[in-house]
Amino acid sequence: MEIRSATFMTSNTDVMQCPPPDRREYAFIGRSNVGKSSLINMLTNNSKLAKTSSTPGKTQLINHFLINNEWYLVDLPGYGYVNSSKTLRNKFGKLISDYILRRENMVCLFVLVDSRHPPRKIDLEFMAWLGENGIPFVIVFTKADKLTAPACSTCIADYARVMLDQWESMPRTFLTSAESRLGREELLAYLDELNRTVDEF
């Protein structure tokens, strides 16, 4: 798929104020600093579209970007940064959980995890919560440029081993780098596939 246009629409603190849910959308989620905003910029070929920062906690709002005048990419705040609450709902943030549970046009969630790290408890808990709530998701490994290709393969295999303690099968996975642009074609092809196959939401 070709990205012909990518336009910032809105930033919201409240899911009820997001654009009308009349188009398919795909949201990027994951720990703070994992590379959500950078990946959106890489996919859209626009380094200034989503705000990025080396300091965790940069994205604080629900940001909608209209792609090809047809569908939305959504940049969400990270979880696991400012965090003291014990309940799962508050752990990931009310904004994030409200968005995920209420946004009926959100077709698939892209859960980003850093290729370099073994599975973190908070990511595993988050994906378990998605499963409990029947939310479709895939896993996107980020920052692959920081590892050699064989090291990436080992990390992904190790990740799958841990996931399979909880899950019957692995969700779809993608290996990406916003730096080297690895995985761009695969992700865009998958988005294209989702755009074509999901007729209703």
Q: Which residues of this protein are in contact with ligand GTP, per CB under 6 A?
A: 32-38, 52-54, 56-59, 77-78, 142-143, 145-146, 177-179
Contacts of 155 (CB under 8 A, 6+ apart): 115, 116, 118, 141, 147
How far apart, in whole angstroms, are the C-alpha atoms of residue 39 and residue 113? 12
38 binds Mg ion (CB under 5 A): no
- d(Cα 46, Cα 70) in Å, to the nearest integer? 18
Binding-site member from 27, 35, 37, 138 for Mg ion (CB under 5 A): 37
Per-residue tokens: 128: 């378990």
Secondary element (H or E) of residue 187: helix 184-197
Least spacing, CB of residue 20 vs ligand GTP, in Å: 25
Maximum distance among all alpha carbons in the chain?
Answer: 45
Give min distance, CB of 189 to ligand GTP, in A.
19
How would you classify residue 69: left for phi > 0, otherwise alpha for psi between -120 and 50, otherwise beta? left
- Should residue 142 be labelled a site residue for Mg ion when binding is judged by CB under 5 A? no
Closer Cβ to ligand GTP, 84 or 169, answer by number: 84
Minimum distance, C-beta of residue 75 to Mg ion, in the bound complex (Å): 6
The answer to whether 97 contacts Mg ion (rule: CB under 5 A) is no
Number of residue whose CB is nearest Mg ion: 59
Q: Which is nearer to ligand GTP, 33 or 105 (CB)?
A: 33
